[in-house]
Amino acid sequence: MNITSVKRWSKISLRTLHLLAIAGVGGGILFGLDKDLWINYWWLALASGVLMTLMDIVANPVWVVQIRGVAITLKLILLALLGSIPGWDSYLLVIIIVISAVISHAPGKLRYYSLYHRRVINSSNDTKG
């Protein structure tokens, strides 16, 4: 297995864990469960999100200033806030999910747009998966 395959399958594995974790957090929040019942899912969501972010930054540092990088950084900040602002968890969760859906299905001209360079920047170094 070459390094590209390892990176791709690592990213796929992390994304799978991340989706599972977000489902656990979402279930806990939307069904009004005690934080103790969903906090481990929250930690997994945060850790997997940070690891995927680091993989993207290492593979393509311009990712940080592209719309996709800014959106995912915002999602991680909102995820970190879950459980800390009484009464806001459901709203934060919905915002996180909406940002996820929009940025993952937006056209490349939006996702790859660099706020710093003021143009679309594509890179063959992106980690697939």
Q: Domain limits of the chain? A: 3-120
* 7: pLDDT strictly greater than 70: yes
Tens digit of each residue's pLDDT (9 = 90 or more) over 71-110: 999 999 999 999 898 899 999 999 999 999 999 999 999 9
Tens digit of each residue's pLDDT (9 = 90 or more) over 8-53: 999 999 999 999 999 999 999 999 999 999 999 999 999 999 999 9
**What are the C-alpha distances in Å from 122 to residues 1, 5, 8, 92, 117?**
26, 20, 18, 30, 12
> Residue 13 phi/psi, 5° resolution?
-65, -45
